[in-house]
Chains A and B, each alone.
Chain A
Amino acid sequence: NAGVTQTPKFRVLKTGQSMTLLCAQDMNHEYMYWYRQDPGMGLRLIHYSVGEGTTAKGEVPDGYNVSRLKKQNFLLGLESAAPSQTSVYFCASRDYSGGAHTDTQYFGPGTRLTVL
């Protein structure tokens, strides 16, 4: 049971390049989230998904797109990277089965992205 994993761990992009961050969870969770963390700040929600095939915008969605084609995977895409998107990106998942820990989000290890 690996929990929540993120690929890659580090990435450097040039302005205008595109990339996709992959989040995978093996806990059969319904809800998945993408956050970004800027220096000295807490996490802010980019997009989220409440189930396979669904996505919705969070607080800071501009410049990002997401897809949830499979329940276990949640992809975050940057079509044209900008220096303002330099950040650490965290994925999280949450159960919705009504169990004792359904109100807890479990986080991946993060991806450090630098856009030059």
Chain B
Amino acid sequence: AQTVTQSQPEMSVQEAETVTLSCTYDTSESDYYLFWYKQPPSRQMILVIRQEAYKQQNATENRFSVNFQKAAKSFSLKISDSQLGDAAMYFCAYRGKAAGNKLTFGGGTRVLVKP
């Protein structure tokens, strides 16, 4: 079974600075997808960015980018120019070929943004 590990329970960043969140996963599959979701206090799960494992190029979405290291099974999220609205829980998730294509989530990292 796949597992997803986020080793940082909480990260703090100054407004306008950069923060990097770590995520590692365990899988024997070669074709899969990885995601970062943001969960603000409203509880809504918001997709931040996704990465297809077969693509070597790291995904980027505006101020959000990933560092995908397939051999190391590492998938970190970098938030640049942090804004107060970035404060939230961030979850890393894995989607393989298991029946139903379910998502397996890590335990989450809380990001605090200091003004």
Contacts and interface: CB of A to CB of B under 8 A. Distances in A.
Contact of A56 (B47, B91, B95, B100): B100
Given A33-B100, A103-B33, A41 B43 contact: no
A74 interface: no
A43 B105 contact: yes
A43 B100 contact: no
Nearest to B95: A103
Nearest to A50: B100
A77 interface: no
B101 to A, nearest CB: 7
Interface in B41-72: 42-45, 47, 50, 52
A17 interface: no
A109 B99 contact: no
A106 B46 CA distance: 8
Interface centre among A42, A103, A109 (most CB of B within 10 A): A42
28 contacts: A31-B101, A33-B100, A33-B103, A41-B107, A42-B4, A42-B93, A42-B106, A42-B107, A43-B91, A43-B105, A44-B105, A45-B100, A45-B102, A48-B100, A48-B102, A56-B99, A56-B100, A58-B102, A88-B43, A90-B45, A92-B103, A94-B101, A104-B47, A104-B50, A107-B37, A107-B44, A110-B43, A110-B45
Interface of B: 4, 33, 35, 37, 42-45, 47, 50, 52, 91, 93, 95, 99-103, 105-108
